Structure 1
Amino acid sequence: GTVAYRCAVGHGGEDVLRHVVRRVAEQGCAARPGLLKRFGEGSPGWLSFPARGWGLSLELPAGAAGLGVLLDELDEEVAAAGGRVCLARDRRLRPELLPSMYPLLDDFRELRAAVDPDAVFTSDLARRLGL
């Protein structure tokens, strides 16, 4: 199986994407064909992934040694650069990184609490990340 790693950074954050690719290669995680996209204006949605800048998608072998630690470190670098990972493909992001990646997270949580106070509509992702 594979693990999808999809991240985005704003213009000026290209070095972070180069570093992500370099670290994956150094780890020996042969990625299946990757994809680099240039994003235009992002969506105003609270948890929308695309933002003005660049997106990188990689499919990595799930059994690669040290992959979890590597991806945690890459998440931290992406977050420090003002970037984010794609929640639609995520299975492992640490919850404490979410607020820096998604600055409108509190607005989303507030609306969600008002509309669904008993958390009837939820998912594994929502439970794991406290959405």
Structure 2
Amino acid sequence: MAQSGLASFLAVLKAFGDVPSPGLMSFPKPGITLALDFPIKPNKSFPLFERLADMVNDFGGRLYPAKDAAMTAAQFQTFYPQWEQLARFRDPIITSSFWERCTGDKSTL
């Protein structure tokens, strides 16, 4: 982060227990989560986000889709391989920019 020249203006650290979540796409898993908020500066922010996502993946973590505005399709599909199972339940009339960005599925009736 220091090399990027950006600083997080908000950081939240949480600990999750080891109770399994029954949800198909639940974010929590045992361990610690760190949420960082950054200003958007396209030439600096997005390369930093890519590097941080790679680090999260390298350490066996995952990004939180509901809080991440820069998650790529490759990242989403790596962190949540069960997304295709969820897609079978999707109403084809309903879509979102997140779904289209992270799955490439732009089909609507």
Please say whether Structure 1 and Structure 2 have the same fold, judged by a TM-score greater than 0.5. yes
Find runs of 4+ consecutive structure 1 residues off by over 6 angstroms.
none
TM-score by length of 1: 0.68
Q: Which has the higher contact order (CA 8 A, sep 6+)?
A: 1
The match for 1:34 among 5, 8, 11 is: 11
CA positional deviation for 1:37: 0.6
Q: 2:74 aligns with which of 96, 104, 120?
A: 96
> Percent identity over the alignment?
31
Query: Could you tell me which residue of structure 2 aligns to residue 124 of structure 1?
Result: 97
Distance 2:64 2:44 in 1: 21
| Rounded Cα–Cα distance in structure 2 between residues aligned with 1:128 and 1:70 | 19
CA distance in 1, matches of 2:20, 2:10: 25
Amino acid at match of 1:56: L
Contact 1:29 1:64 in 2 (8 A): no
What does residue 89 of structure 2 align with? 111
Cα offsets for 1:20-71 (capped at 9, x unmatched): xxxx233232212311111113523222111111111111122375211111
What are the ranges of 5 or more consecutive residues in structure 2 without an aligned counterpart?
A: none
Instruction: Point out the structure with the larger helix share.
Output: 1
Distance 1:96 1:63 in 2: 22
Structure number with the higher strand fraction is: 1
Q: What is the SS of the residue equivalent to 1:71?
A: helix
The answer for unaligned runs of 5 or more in structure 1 is: 1-23
